[in-house]
Amino acid sequence: MSDIKQLARETVQALTPYLSARRIGGKGDVWLNANEAPDCSEYQLDSKKLNRYPEFQPPALINAYADYSLLKKNQILATRGADESIEILIRTFCEPGSDSILICPPTYGMYAISAETCGVTVEQVALDSHFDVDYLAVEQAVNHPTSQVKIVFLCAPNNPTGNMLDKQKLVKLLQATKGKALIVADEAYIEFSPQLSQVDLIAQHGNLVITRTLSKAFALAAIRCGFTLAQESVIQMLSKVIAPYPVPQPTAQIATQALSENGLAVMKDRVHTLNNNRQLLQTALKSLDCVTEIFPTTGNFVLVRFKDSAKVFAAFANDGIIMRDFASKPRLENCIRITIGSKAEMESTLTTLNSL
C-alpha cells in the first residue's frame, strides 16, 4: 500500500466513491444519464464584489425560497446542492462509530456514501415488492430497543424507481419516531409533481426534514444550490455544522433570479414540456418488444427493464446516447434509467430502440 493511502482513514481507504454521471463519462451528444434539464436560461451576473466573502445565508435567496416554498425564512438552509444537505444532516445528527442512518434500497446512492465517509453505519429496510416504502418495517427498525438509527432517508420521487410517499403512512411514521429519529424526505424531483410534496407537514412535525435542489426542474445543476427545509430548531443545529460560507455569491445571484416570478414561470413551463415528453416516451415504450417493465414515475426520469439491457445500453452508446445503467444493482437486473430530455432527444432514444 502506498504511504499516502496508509495515511487516509481506514473507511476512506476501503470506500468505493459514488460514481456520478460526470465521473462515469461517456461519449455522445444526448445526455440522459444525470436527470438534468435539457435546456438552460441566461442570467445576469454582477462580478464587481467578488473580493468579499458572501453572506452566510444570502437574504434575497432565502426570502425567494421562503416565498416559493411557503415556509418561514428560519425554516430554510441553503446548501451546495442537496448532496451537501445530506452530508450536513448526517454530520449534525449522527455520532460517528455508534449511530446509524436507515435507507430503503434501491434508492439514491449518496445517503450511504455520505454516512460511510462520516463513520456512520447504514441500516437497510428494502422497498417492498412494489418498490414502495415498507413503513411498518422502518418504524420497527427505528424503535427497536437496540436501534441507533438517527436519520431515515426516504426519496420521493425515488431515484431510480420513481415511487412516491404515502402521506398518511408518513405521518404515522413521523409520530412513531418522534424524539428518536429524523425522517428526511428527499424531494429533488418534486417540481415535476408539486402536489405530492410533504412540505405542509413541517409545521406539525419537528422530526421531518425535506431536501430540495435547483439541479433538476430549475435546470441549474452547474451552480450547486440546494435547500434543507425543517422547523427552526433543526435548521439551527445544521447551521452550527455547515461551512462558514456555504453559498457562493454567483450561485446566490443566479438562484435568486431563478426563483423570481419570471424564473418560476420558466421552470413551470419546462416542467410542463418535460412531463409531456415523458408521457410520449412512456406510451411509445409500451409497444416495444424489447421492454419488459416500465416503472411508474412522476419525475423527469423513467426506469425501464429490458429483455437484454446490455444490448440496449450498447446500442445507445453506439448512437451517442448516454444513459444510466442500473443492471448490476440488486432487484434492478436489466434496468436502465432514462432521463426525460427534449422531444428530439426522446425521438432519438426511440429511434435506437426501434432499430433493435
Ligand X SMILES: Cc1ncc(COP(=O)(O)O)c(C=O)c1O
Q: How far is the CB of 10 from ligand X (least distance, A)?
A: 27
Closer CB to ligand X, 81 or 341, in the complex: 81
Question: How many other C-beta atoms are found inside a 10 Å radius of the C-beta of residue 241?
Answer: 13
Closer CB to ligand X, 252 or 353, in the complex: 252
Task: DSSP letter for 190, please.
Answer: G
* Residue type at 234 in one-letter notation: V
Q: How far is the CB of 345 from ligand X (least distance, A)?
A: 18
Orientation of helix 309-318 relative to helix 343-354, angle to 10°: 120
Residue 335 · residue 26 · CB < 8 Å: no
Q: How far is the CB of 4 from ligand X (least distance, A)?
A: 28
Q: How far is the CB of 291 from ligand X (least distance, A)?
A: 23
- What ranges in 302-342 are assigned the alpha helix state H? 309-318
Closer CB to ligand X, 177 or 215, in the complex: 215
Residue nearest to ligand X (CB): 81
* Three-class DSSP category at 228: strand
Residue 120 main-chain phi, psi, to 5 deg: -110, 135
**Could you identify the residue written with the cell 431510480?**
160
**Cα torsion angle, 18, 190, 214, 276, sign:** positive
Distances in whole angstroms, Cα of residue 336 to Cα of each of 38, 66, 313, 350:
19, 36, 8, 14
Q: Which stretches of the chain bind ligand X, using CB under 6 A?
A: 35, 81-83, 108, 155, 159, 186, 188, 213, 215, 221, 226
Closer CB to ligand X, 54 or 81, in the complex: 81
Distances in whole angstroms, Cα of residue 90 to Cα of each of 65, 113, 208, 242, 284:
23, 11, 14, 11, 41
Closer CB to ligand X, 155 or 238, in the complex: 155
Q: How far is the CB of 12 from ligand X (least distance, A)?
A: 21
Closer CB to ligand X, 88 or 353, in the complex: 88
Q: How far is the CB of 68 from ligand X (least distance, A)?
A: 16
Q: How far is the CB of 210 from ligand X (least distance, A)?
A: 11
Distances in whole angstroms, Cα of residue 120 to Cα of each of 14, 102, 153:
14, 10, 14
Closer CB to ligand X, 255 or 353, in the complex: 255
Q: How far is the CB of 34 from ligand X (least distance, A)?
A: 6
* Residue type at 103 in one-letter notation: I
In which element (H, E) is residue 93 found? helix 81-93
Closer CB to ligand X, 79 or 352, in the complex: 79
Residue 140 main-chain phi, psi, to 5 deg: -65, -40
